[in-house]
Amino acid sequence: MSVSPYDEPQEKKASAEQHANKIKETAHDLTHRERISTYFTIAAAACGLISDGYQNNLMTMANVVFKALYPKDYTSAVSTRVSNSLLVGAIIGQIFVGFICDRIGRKTALVSTTLFIIIGATIGTAAHGAHGSVQGLFWCLTFARGITGIGVGGEYPASSTSASEAANERSIVTRGPVFIMVTNFVLSFGGPLAVSVFLIALSAAGEQHLPTVWRVCFGVGILLPVTVFFLRLRMLSSKLYRKGAIKRKVPYWLVVRRYWKSLIGTCGAWFLYDFVTFPNGVFSGTIISSVIHDGSIKRTAEWQLLLGALALPGVFVGAFLCNRFGRRNTMMLGFSGYLIFGLTIGLSYDKITKIIPLFVVFYGLMQSFGNMGPGDMLGLVSAESYATPVRGTCYGLSAAIGKTGAAVGTQAFTPIQTHLGKRWTFIIAAICGVTGILVTYFFVPDMTGKDLAEEDAAFLKYLAANGWEGSVGEDDEAEMIGKTSQSSLRESEEALDEKI
């Protein structure tokens, strides 16, 4: 019994469908150890990303301290360089670790990012310039923050993809809220945490010992990644990854053809969100100190803590709405907050800054809407919109474009204030809000309530239909898709002949 070459496409399709169906059927069939591992994965994601949030907001009060300690040396150019070094490192980490997530494994990527944060935070805490050079100190901090940034950036694809897959294995219905609480909530909580640590250190040491204060704040940033390191040594890669990974011959052109629209949506919306959010977070301490007449560092920190606290409720509202209102609609609602409050503050800047509590409340509400919408939804839709074999890569690319927006926003922040006026930082936020609504509506898919295993199955069928041939799954259980060996065919033919 011979097999016609015209039967090969059918064999490929049948092989792909068989493996795709197997992924859907077994995605939620977990052993006891796999169930325990999902808890470790979700907990480790929360601990890792709260460390990210802390590092992202560490420079908020550090910028105020350095400006007080070194008014001549800590120029706007130096401030921007130190702040942007974390962003440059984050972009590298997001792309590189996103690639490692898919090609080597989730666990390897997670352990690597943790080590980078520990090394960078340690160097930053001990930073000094040669012979007491102040500029040497800032160059050392720039290098340290860059190393930290690689780890911080890598946490985004590594932790988020792992958390989304673990949450999906636990329950599809609660995947969205659980993902938000262990990603954006802890990232947002990192801001108030960083300011709280600063206030405690400042109260203990006093304003006469500011060098001690900022080093203590940097040192606390070492503790969380050390803790999460041991959690990550206990976890397993998700079952979705073990069944669906493509480690060789990844068909990136086919990936782009299938996901180009989603990539425009997640990359574009993330760029706009970080362009507004990151500089407003890094320089919010500077903004608040400029409207406080006595310039007190402690009063600035207290208002900054209130600002961070006002931004947190948006995270909970977004988690509540993500299933009921849908991912895409919630994201557009959040961007509308930039339009409303950005214009309100920008158009009345001279009057509203004379009433500091009102200014801080409106500023906090703008950030709260950002947390509710793109802050909560971007990570979620970036984890849900792509199949498991390329989830880390596409998520990392989207986050990297976002951090590019943050770097551009941070670089442009001071020139905008200098040449256009401080009100324009808020008016531009409103413009980004309108653009974000349009990008979200036209390009961001809504995966509310859909099983991640379904997209994995559809992706494998798509690859087979387009002639891709390769293995799917971890090395110990990989299966061939789109290519059936002649020996297997002969065995099937012999068994059929015996039955006949």
Q: Region 265-280: what's the mean pLDDT?
A: 89
Average pLDDT (374-386) is 93
Note the pLDDT of residue 363: 83
**Nearest CA among 200, 180, 227, 193 for reference residue 376:** 180
Instruction: Note the pLDDT of residue 149.
Output: 92
Q: Is residue 244 part of a domain?
A: no
Q: Is residue 197 part of a domain?
A: yes
pLDDT, residue 118, reads 93
Question: Is residue 321 scored above 90 in pLDDT?
Answer: yes
Mean pLDDT of 126-143: 90
- Which residues are within 8 A (CB) of 487 and not within 5 positions of it... i.e. 6 or more apart? none
Q: 292 with 299: CB under 8 angstroms?
A: yes
Residue 486 falls inside a structural domain: no
Distance between CA atoms of residues 254 and 57, nearest Å: 38
- pLDDT above 70 covers a percentage of the chain that reads 85
User: What pLDDT is recorded for position 494?
Assistant: 47
Q: Mean pLDDT across the chain, nearest whole number?
A: 82
Total domain count for the chain? Answer: 1
Residue 113 to residue 105: CA distance in whole angstroms: 13
More confident residue, 303 or 489: 303
- Distances from the Cα of 483 to the Cα of 163, 468, 493, angstroms: 33, 9, 17
Residue 206 confidence (pLDDT)? 83
Say if residue 185's pLDDT is above 60.
Answer: yes
Asked if pLDDT for residue 476 goes beyond 60, the answer is: no
The answer to whether residue 279 is domain-embedded is yes
Which of 122-126, 207-211, 328-332 is predicted least confidently?
207-211
Once rounded to an integer, what is the mean pLDDT over residues 325-345? 93
pLDDT above 50 (res 486): no
Q: Is residue 483 part of a domain?
A: no
Q: Tens digit of pLDDT for each residue in 60-103?
A: 778 888 988 888 888 888 888 888 898 889 999 999 999 888 88
Find the range with the poorest average confidence among 142-151, 273-282, 327-336, 393-402: 273-282
For residue 177, the enclosing domain spans: 28-237+249-450
The residue among 496 and 46 whose pLDDT is bigger is: 46
User: At residue 480, what are phi and psi to the nearest 5 degrees?
Assistant: -85, 135
Mean pLDDT across the stretch 374-383? 93
Q: Which residue has the tokens 């943050």?
A: 406
Residue 289 — very low, low, confident or very high, per pLDDT cuts 50/70/90? low
Residues 6+ apart with CB under 8 A from 486: none
Residue 349 lies in a domain: yes
Q: pLDDT value at position 479?
A: 59
Q: Is 122 among the domain residues?
A: yes
Phi and psi of 373, rounded to 5°?
-90, -95
pLDDT at 13: 54
Evaluate if residue 340 carries a pLDDT over 90: yes
What pLDDT is attached to residue 1? 41
Asked if residue 466 belongs to a domain, the reply is no
Q: Which of 112-126, 186-200, 355-369 has the highest mean pLDDT?
A: 112-126
- Give the model's pLDDT for residue 443: 96
Least confident of 137-141, 243-247, 376-380, 470-474: 470-474
**Tens digits of residue pLDDT in 198-234:** 889 988 988 888 889 999 999 998 988 888 887 777 7
Phi, psi of 432 (to 5 degrees): -65, -35
Q: What is the pLDDT of residue 319?
A: 93
CATH number at residue 164: 1.20.1250.20
Is pLDDT above 70 for 283? no
Lowest mean pLDDT among 39-43, 70-74, 100-104, 314-318: 39-43
pLDDT at 16 over 60: no
Kindly report, residue by residue over 443-452, the tens digit of the pLDDT: 999 888 888 8
Q: pLDDT higher for 147 or 11?
A: 147
For residue 234, what are the CA distances in angstroms to 44, 98, 186, 231, 445?
10, 21, 21, 6, 34
The answer, yes or no, to whether residue 495 has pLDDT greater than 50, is no
Q: Is the pLDDT of residue 487 over 70?
A: no
Strand, coil or helix: 479: strand
Place of tokens 């659980």: 178
Structure token digits, residue 274: 């970080």
pLDDT at 3 > cutoff 60: no
